[in-house]
């Protein structure tokens, strides 16, 4: 009987030791796990100026959406093709949201993105900024300099004025200012959306969304902001 008692006690001690080993192993595994991904929507402490950036929609709209984007970025194209048209239909055209486009070309991986952004601004001199914006995303594989001239011709722009503008590099500094502003706002990739309450030529109560998202998620956030910012 005494031997049996000792055997039972040994088994119990062995189980306790095994339990301690498992607890320690669990702690070590948890310590090695990567941190959880950040939430899809994060508030940021910033008042964002929209200055003279290209704007679509009513200037007195309740909300402002600022997109930092890159014409050569495939995720930006997905947003432009799939989500933005629905946002334009349901929120921009109805006067609820004003949409602002800011350039954030990722030159290290998208060498044609900067000049494509210049082309959009040069088209803007002739009143066709948004038409060029749409055409560049629709023809993302055709952004070489000679193709930009072809896009201008397709939009019936004055060819000489467009080429002179593009070759002058007059909008490079403005685009680099957008990049610098984006970095201050913690933009690191494209597309990045800032959603907030309109306040004159700026926006407040700003939330940041990184990456291309389905329209349903964007609608959810816009509706939430509209409800929160009602006077």
What's the pLDDT tens digit per position in 117-142? 999 999 999 999 999 999 999 999 99
SS3 of residue 55 by DSSP: strand
Query: What's the whole-model pTM score?
Result: 0.84
Name which residue leads in pLDDT, 165 or 3: 165
pLDDT at position 34 over 90: no
Per-residue b/e over 136-147, b at no fewer than 16 CB within 10 Å?
Answer: bbebbeebeeeb
Mean pLDDT in residue range 18-41: 66
Distance in angstroms (rounded) separating the CA atoms of residues 93 and 84: 12
Which residues, 6 or more positions from 22, have their beta carbon under 8 angstroms from its beta carbon?
A: none
Name the DSSP class of 189. S
């Amino acid at each position: 009987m005494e031997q049996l008692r000792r055997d039972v006690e040994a088994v119990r001690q062995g189980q306790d030791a095994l339990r301690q080993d498992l607890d320690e192993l669990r702690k070590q595994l948890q310590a090695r796990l990567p941190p959880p991904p950040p939430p899809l929507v994060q508030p940021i402490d910033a008042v964002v100026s929209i200055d003279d950036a290209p704007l679509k929609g009513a200037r007195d709209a309740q909300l402002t959406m600022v997109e930092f984007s890159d014409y050569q970025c495939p995720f930006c194209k997905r947003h432009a093709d799939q989500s933005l048209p629905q946002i334009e239909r349901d929120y921009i055209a109805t006067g609820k949201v004003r949409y602002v486009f800011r350039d954030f070309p990722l030159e290290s991986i998208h060498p044609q993105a900067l000049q494509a952004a210049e082309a959009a601004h040069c088209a803007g001199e002739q009143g066709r900024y948004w038409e060029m914006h749409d055409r560049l995303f629709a023809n993302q594989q055709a952004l070489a300099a000679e193709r930009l001239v072809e896009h201008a011709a397709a939009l019936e722009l004055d060819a000489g004025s467009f080429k002179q503008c593009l070759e002058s590099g007059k909008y490079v500094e403005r685009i680099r200012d957008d990049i610098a502003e984006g970095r201050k706002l913690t933009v690191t990739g494209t597309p990045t959306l800032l959603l907030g309450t309109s306040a004159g030529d700026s926006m407040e109560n700003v939330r940041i969304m990184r990456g291309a998202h389905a329209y349903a998620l964007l609608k959810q956030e816009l509706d939430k902001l509209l409800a929160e910012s009602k006077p």
